[in-house]
Amino acid sequence: MKGKGRFWAVLFTISSLVLWTGIGLCGAPGFDDKEIRIAAWGPQTGPAAPWGSVARAPAVLAAMINEQGGIHGRKLKHFVRDDQYNPAQTKVVVKELVEKEGIFSFVCGTGSAGGLAVKDYLAQNKVIWVGPATSVKEYVFPVQPYLFSVYPLYEDEGSILTKYVIEKLGIKEIGVVYQNDPYGKNGLDGVRQRLDHLKMKAVAEIPVEATEKDLSSHVLKLKSAGAKAVLMWVHPTTGVVLVKTAATIGYKPQWVASNTLSDFELMNKISGGLWEGIITGAFMLPPDSDDPRVVKYREAAKKYAPEERFGVFFMAGIMFTEPLVEALKRVGKNLSTEAVLKALNSMKNFQGVGPKLTWSPDQHQGSDSIQIWKCGPGGKTILLQDWTVNELAHWKKK
Amino acid sequence: MYGQLIVEGLSIGACYAVFGIAVVIIYKTSEVINFAQGEMAMISTFVAYHILNVYGWPFWYAFIGALFFAVLLGVFIEVCFLRPAKDPTVLGLIVITLGAEMLLMGLASWKWGAEQKDFALPFSFHKTHELFKGVVINDWSIAVFVMAAVLMIFLYIFFRYTKLGVAMRATQQNEHAARIMGIKVERVFSFAWGFSSLIGALAGMFFAARSTLDPAYMMEPFLRAFAAAVLGGLMSIPGVVIGGGILGILENFVGFHWPAWKPIVAFLVIVAVLCIRPSGLFARHYEKKV
Amino acid sequence: MGDHFRVENLSISFGGLKAVDGVSFDVEPNTIFSIIGPNGSGKTTIFNLICGIYHPHSGRIILEGRNIVGLKPDRIARLGIARTFQNIELFGNATVMDNIMLGRHIHMKTGVFSGAFMWWRGSRAAQEEIVHREEVEKIIDFLDLQSVRDQFVSSLPYGKRKLVELGRALALKPKVLLLDEPSAGMNTEEKEDLSIWIKDIREDYKVTILLIEHDMNMIMGISDRVICLNYGRKIAEGLPQEVQKHPEVIEAYLGEEDIFRHA
Ligand SMILES: Nc1ncnc2c1ncn2[C@@H]1O[C@H](COP(=O)(O)OP(=O)(O)O)[C@@H](O)[C@H]1O
Ligand SMILES: [Mg+2]
């Protein structure tokens, strides 16, 4: 018994020593003459897994680039890790990637809690992170030297959508349903920003938890407040429950939703067709668009990832990676983290399939604009309004 | 507006109640809160989904198929997970059901993926009928009320008049004595799990039709059903039904006036009942009844 | 050796304590066979072994030529062994009638579906129910329980509850009936009634009775044969009077309350 105990103690000490020194020694540079390693984390299992496809998509872009010989002779190698939407797990997988694989830059990265948990670690290890797959103010205000955001702020989206509803649709009675977290509250702030500017007020502002499944009281409240348009920053399931519940009591406002609910093919399916006619914000061209760049990606996805549905989330994973690829191209053969940082910091009006991007050393929020879509019959995308800037955005005026 | 709130509260409450009955049936026999209850219903609903969308069979085949599967699943879990535990503690039993919960959720994610699915019942919530001025009721709610009522009547007859129902009641009251009376207690346990799983699957399909179907969709309804069961004293079937109704209405009123507080109503109810009246609101009423 | 009911070399121990240690006995059909012995001598444990609640570490229990060791309690009940408990085990939240009715459980054929039509008078299930009810009414009459037949068991006095348990065991129509201290908690008058009933039960139900009792009047009055246990071992066997006079028996009871004085 005693001998066994000592054996385990020794084993434990040795293994922890190995681990510890391993941590000290490693930290591979993230690239060599043959390849550049990039990576993304995202929930591949568990309740948030629908968003996990974002993290897998950069592999398609990498395959496209590699087929044409890579970037200045170096191939792109993409790693995906499942963090189950759990920040503790995000830390584990990111550490493992950085210290064992050696990652040059992260792309995408789903989930604000996980992102906040690793952003300082990445900066300390001088690992770049481009295009987080969610908008979080702490990522960009104040400027994080290694972190470059593509995603438009929910606040700007809220402001632009509200303007559209009031000016283009002529609806003045606006209700808001917002998830009771930074995502939802930022959206609400945007609505308020626009309404304050117009000296108006929302008729109802209703918080909701992401897990809630019975929203009758919320819907009745919207109805009794007389909301003719309802803007929502909520979880996709919450959106579906809201729309279904409204249908049960014959309440038919104009529903307007955040870009996180803009995967029309999915939303229309899971709402039993009720998503048709709903307006959303959007941070890139529609996946079913005829734009040649989108067509190119769609074809590539069919070839390299035939099992994936080419929906909004999957295409977004490519879109978030585009600017990194652009920067790598601009840097040329003499690759280094500093050179890529410099290229990213001087990115001006770069446009792939996403919004126009401009980064500078003291501004890493890349975009201020969204498109406005409407869900057509069968989940088809109808473009209502092309890229639109939030002229009220406070973060741009200094 | 209040009339509508009550209708909505009662219909979701009836759904909690039906699911709560499933919780109560297992609690009464095995004396364990089955934390896998929601996930058992979830998997069964996925089976219905699978039959509908992959095999393309008509709805009622899928419905019956899912209920059939639910019974097998309940029996399987009882026989393979609970029965092998020799002289388990309450905590031990809870851990077992939690394990089953995780297993089932993993299984569903692996088989059907985590992306939400649409699951529709033939009772549409688009179709509404005016009850009285300004208050409407939809087919989904009507179906829930009918289901709850039929279930109540069935359970009444079952526990009163059938050999198995009487054996179940006897086992609940005194397992020792039931054995000596020649009652196959193991079979009673298996049956209780199968039966509870079936009722859970019924409720699960109704919940899925209201929201979306995904591996995690039953976690929230389980909490509410549990609250309804606690309100009713965890032991009584009429108790859980009344508890479900109260909870549904309470949640809707709170949700209407203070939406931010709605999510914790169920928690508060559980804590309050356990602190103030652990035997539930209708304890005395129940004791006389059985 | 008769093949009706027999116990051979039965032993069980709990954590080193030999609760029952190599006990054998043989019971003739339709007799009253009593087990006596000081507290903790292993009497109840023998009953628990017989009806399958415990499994012996060694030994055999033969019922009508068949070894029943290892069978589950419900199986043993179906084979024809019924019992009452020293510390009453009833269904407290049910009426006297319901409790005794449960004794009929193993004789019912009604399934879930036919049972659901019980409310319909003409159904087979209802017919069957009527037969069982008659059987139960007979037992209630016999044990003089009419006045409490619809009361909840939990509200009854101790003595009455003992009778309900006896009635429930009878309802199984067993071949062998095990009674564990049935007279405990009864007054002299009730005990006398009980003695008469037990004898009647043997006559009317043609049943073999194993009786654990502390009341020596009762033992002497109704037993056909008696064994005495001490520390799990059988120390005497024979006719009541023989066992009563057995020196080891008298010694075993020294220090215990002197129950022999009343005998
Ligand atoms: N399940 C058990 N676990 C441990 N000891 C037991 C158990 N059942 C009985 N015993 C012990 O066995 C002995 C005999 O008990 P019992 O048969 O109840 O005696 P009695 O003759 O008074 O009925 C006692 O010492 C008792 O403590
Ligand atoms: Mg005893």
Q: For residue B159, what are the contacts with CB-CB under 8 A and spacing of at least 6?
A: B165, B166, B168, B169
Q: How far is the CA of A245 from the centre of ligand 2 (A)?
A: 64
Strand order in the sheet with A128-130: A75-82, A35-42, A105-107, A128-130, A147-148
| Residue of chain B with shortest Cα separation from A224 | B1
- Contact: C116, B158; criterion CB under 8 Å: yes
Q: Which atom of ligand 1 is nearest to the CA of C54?
A: 1
Question: Cα(C155)–Cα(C87) distance, rounded to whole angstroms?
Answer: 16
My answer on whether A183 and A268 are in the same domain is yes
Q: Domain for residue A170, yes or no?
A: yes
Interface residue ranges in chain A relative to chain B, Cβ cutoff 8 Å: 43, 45-50, 52, 180, 206-209, 211-218, 220-221, 223-224, 236-237, 240-241, 244-245, 247-250, 266, 269-272
Of C54, C45, C56, nearest to C19 by C-alpha is C45
Q: Tell me what pLDDT residue A296 has.
A: 92
Touch between A and C (at least 3 CB pairs under 8 Å): no
Q: Domain for residue A2, yes or no?
A: no
CA distances from C226 to A116, C166, C211 (A): 82, 21, 9
Low-confidence ranges of chain A (pLDDT < 50): 1-3, 13, 16-27
DSSP state of C183: T
Residue B9, pLDDT > 50, answer: yes
Q: Tell me what pLDDT residue B194 has.
A: 95
Regarding the beta carbon of C40 and ligand 1, being less than 6 Å apart is answered: yes
The percent of residues in chain B predicted with pLDDT above 90, rounded, is: 42
3-state class percentages of chain B: helix first, strand second, coil last, to nearest 5: 75, 5, 20
My answer on whether A113 and A260 are in the same domain is no
State the pLDDT confidence band at C120, using cuts at 50, 70 and 90: low
Map tokens 């006719």 to a residue: C239
Residue B207, pLDDT > 50, answer: yes
**Parallel, antiparallel, or unpaired for β C66-67 and A204-208?**
unpaired
In chain C, what residues touch B166 (CB-CB under 8 Å)? 101-102, 105
Q: Domain for residue A348, yes or no?
A: yes
Q: For residue B22, what are the contacts with CB-CB under 8 A and spacing of at least 6?
A: B37, B41, B196, B197, B199, B200, B203, B225
Q: How far is the CA of C40 from the centre of ligand 1 (A)?
A: 6
In chain C, what residues touch B161 (CB-CB under 8 Å)? 115-116, 118-119, 125
Contact criterion met (CB below 8 Å) for A117 and A83: no
C106 against A340, higher pLDDT: A340
Contact criterion met (CB below 8 Å) for B224 and B1: no
DSSP sequence for A123-154: HHTT-EEE--SS--HHHHSS--TTEEB-SPPH
Q: Is B40 helix (H, G, I), strand (E, B) or coil?
A: helix
Closest-lying ligand to the alpha carbon of C41?
Answer: 1
The mean per-residue pLDDT over the stretch B245-264 comes to 89
Residue B36 phi, psi (nearest 5): -85, 0
Map tokens 């009662």 to a residue: B10
**CA-nearest residue, atom 14 of ligand 1:** C42
Cβ under 8 Å to A: B residues 73-112: 106, 109-110
Tell me, rounded to whole angstroms, the distance of Cα A76 from its chain centroid. 21
Question: Cα(B147)–Cα(B205) distance, rounded to whole angstroms?
Answer: 12
Taking the CA atoms of chain A, what radius of gyration do you get in angstroms?
22
Q: How far is the CA of B185 from the centre of ligand 1 (A)?
A: 24
The mean per-residue pLDDT over the stretch C56-78 comes to 92
State the pLDDT confidence band at C115, using cuts at 50, 70 and 90: low
Pocket test for ligand 1, best of C11, C12, C14 (most atoms within 8 A of CB): C14
DSSP sequence for B75-127: HHHIIIIITTSSS--HHHHHHHHHHHHHHHHHHHHHHH-SS-B----SS-SS-
| Residue of chain A with shortest Cα separation from B142 | A248
Contact criterion met (CB below 8 Å) for B181 and B191: no
My answer on whether A239 and A184 are in the same domain is yes
Q: For residue A250, what are the contacts with CB-CB under 8 A and spacing of at least 6?
A: B128, B136
DSSP state of A394: T
Question: Cα(C218)–Cα(C181) distance, rounded to whole angstroms?
Answer: 11
Residue A345 phi, psi (nearest 5): -65, -20
Q: Tell me what pLDDT residue A307 has.
A: 87
Residue C93, pLDDT > 90, answer: no
Question: Cα(B35)–Cα(A181) distance, rounded to whole angstroms?
Answer: 27
| Residue of chain B with shortest Cα separation from C107 | B182
Give me the helix-helix angle, B262-276 and B219-231, nearest 10°: 30
Contact criterion met (CB below 8 Å) for C102 and C167: no
The mean per-residue pLDDT over the stretch B238-267 comes to 89
Lowest mean pLDDT among C34-38, C86-90, C125-129, C193-197: C125-129
My answer on whether A301 and A258 are in the same domain is no
Question: Cα(C206)–Cα(C222) distance, rounded to whole angstroms?
Answer: 15
My answer on whether A63 and A135 are in the same domain is yes
Regarding the beta carbon of C38 and ligand 1, being less than 6 Å apart is answered: no
Residue C127, pLDDT > 80, answer: no
My answer on whether A141 and A200 are in the same domain is no
Pocket test for ligand 1, best of C45, C53, C228 (most atoms within 8 A of CB): C45
DSSP state of B135: E
DSSP state of C152: B
Total Cβ atoms within 10 A of residue C152:
18
Q: Domain for residue A1, yes or no?
A: no
Total residue length of chain A: 398
Q: Which two tokens stand for residue A14?
A: 């040795």
Strand order in the sheet with A369-375: A204-208, A174-179, A229-233, A254-257, A279-282, A369-375, A381-389
- Contact: A48, B219; criterion CB under 8 Å: no
Question: Cα(B262)–Cα(A162) distance, rounded to whole angstroms?
Answer: 27
Amino acid at C171: A
B166 against A165, higher pLDDT: A165
Which candidate from B1, B117, B252 shows the least CB-CB separation from A270? Answer: B117
Regarding the beta carbon of C43 and ligand 1, being less than 6 Å apart is answered: yes
CA distances from C238 to A40, C228, C241 (A): 87, 9, 8
C183-204 exposure pattern, b = at least 16 Cβ within 10 A, e = fewer: bbebeeeebebbbebbeebbee
| Residue of chain B with shortest Cα separation from A270 | B118
Tell me, rounded to whole angstroms, the distance of Cα B83 from its chain centroid. 22
- Contact: C118, B161; criterion CB under 8 Å: yes
| Residue of chain B with shortest Cα separation from C151 | B288
Q: Does an H or E element contain C56, and which?
A: none
- Contact: A216, B252; criterion CB under 8 Å: yes
Residue C24, pLDDT > 70, answer: yes
- Contact: A217, B8; criterion CB under 8 Å: yes
Q: Which two tokens stand for residue A40?
A: 């993304």
Question: A272: distance to nearest CA of chain B, Å?
Answer: 6
Q: Is B45 within 8 Å of chain A by CB?
A: no
**Parallel, antiparallel, or unpaired for β A174-179 and A204-208?**
parallel
Q: Tell me what pLDDT residue A158 has.
A: 95
Q: Per residue in B128-162, pLDDT tens? A: 788 787 788 888 889 999 999 999 999 988 888 88
CA distances from B216 to A42, B211, C81 (A): 17, 12, 50
Q: How far is the CA of C43 from the centre of ligand 2 (A)?
A: 6
Which candidate from B109, B220, B251 shows the least CB-CB separation from A49? Answer: B109
Q: Per residue in C235-262, pLDDT tens? A: 989 998 888 888 888 888 765 555 554 4
| Residue of chain B with shortest Cα separation from A51 | B115
Q: Which two tokens stand for residue A159?
A: 């402001």
My answer on whether A87 and A14 are in the same domain is yes
Q: Tell me what pLDDT residue A16 has.
A: 47
Which candidate from C73, C90, C125 shows the least CB-CB separation from B179? Answer: C73
Contact criterion met (CB below 8 Å) for C212 and C225: no
Q: Tell me what pLDDT residue C228 has.
A: 92
**3-class SS string, A41-58:** EECCCCCCHHHHHHHHCH
Of B153, B160, B149, B168, nearest to B27 by C-alpha is B168
Q: Which atom of ligand 1 is nearest to the CA of C39?
A: 22
My answer on whether A125 and A218 are in the same domain is no
My answer on whether A310 and A193 are in the same domain is no
In chain B, what residues touch C162 (CB-CB under 8 Å)? none
Q: How far is the CA of C42 from the centre of ligand 1 (A)?
A: 6
* C-alpha triplet A149, A150, A153: angle, nearest 5°: 85
Q: Tell me what pLDDT residue B45 has.
A: 96
Mean pLDDT across chain C, nearest whole number? 86
Q: Per residue in B77-116, pLDDT tens? A: 999 988 888 777 888 888 889 999 989 988 888 888 777 8
Q: Which two tokens stand for residue A277?
A: 């006619």
**CA-nearest residue, atom 7 of ligand 1:** C14
Q: Is C98 helix (H, G, I), strand (E, B) or coil?
A: helix
Residue B190, pLDDT > 90, answer: yes
ipTM, interface predicted TM-score of the complex: 0.81
Q: Per residue in C156-167, pLDDT tens? A: 888 888 899 999
Which residues pair with residue C5 across a beta bridge? C27, C63
The mean per-residue pLDDT over the stretch B228-251 comes to 90
Cβ under 8 Å to B: C residues 161-200: 168, 172
Which residues pair with residue A147 across a beta bridge? A129
Q: Tell me what pLDDT residue A26 has.
A: 43
Residue B272, pLDDT > 50, answer: yes
Q: Tell me what pLDDT residue C254 has.
A: 65
Question: Cα(A251)–Cα(B98) distance, rounded to whole angstroms?
Answer: 40
My answer on whether A158 and A171 are in the same domain is yes
Of B265, B288, B279, B225, nearest to B25 by C-alpha is B225
My answer on whether A169 and A297 are in the same domain is no
**CA-nearest residue, atom 9 of ligand 1:** C45
Question: B253: distance to nearest CA of chain A, Å?
Answer: 7
Residue A116 phi, psi (nearest 5): -65, -30
Q: Is B139 within 8 Å of chain A by CB?
A: no
Total residue length of chain C: 263
How many structural domains are present in chain A?
2
Domain ranges of chain C: 1-80+174-263, 93-172
Domain with A246 in it: 154-282+372-397
My answer on whether A230 and A377 are in the same domain is yes
Residue A343 belongs to domain with CATH number: 3.40.50.2300
Regarding the beta carbon of C187 and ligand 1, being less than 6 Å apart is answered: no
Q: How far is the CA of C44 from the centre of ligand 2 (A)?
A: 4
Which candidate from C90, C105, C118 shows the least CB-CB separation from B183? Answer: C105
Contact criterion met (CB below 8 Å) for A230 and A253: yes
Q: Which two tokens stand for residue A110?
A: 């789903």
How many A×B Cβ pairs under 8 Å?
Answer: 125
CA distances from C42 to A373, C6, C45 (A): 84, 17, 5
What is the sign, positive or negative, of the torsion defined by CA atoms of A285, A290, A296, A298?
positive
Q: Which fold has domain C1-80+174-263?
A: Rossmann fold (3.40.50)
**Parallel, antiparallel, or unpaired for β A279-282 and C176-180?**
unpaired
CA distances from B132 to A217, B125, B128, B252 (A): 19, 18, 12, 20
Which candidate from B110, B224, B260 shows the least CB-CB separation from A180? Answer: B260
Regarding the beta carbon of C19 and ligand 1, being less than 6 Å apart is answered: yes
Cβ under 8 Å to B: C residues 92-111: 92-94, 101-103, 105-106, 108, 110-111
Regarding the beta carbon of C20 and ligand 1, being less than 6 Å apart is answered: no
Question: Cα(A240)–Cα(A274) distance, rounded to whole angstroms?
Answer: 8
Of A328, A300, A368, nearest to A38 by C-alpha is A328
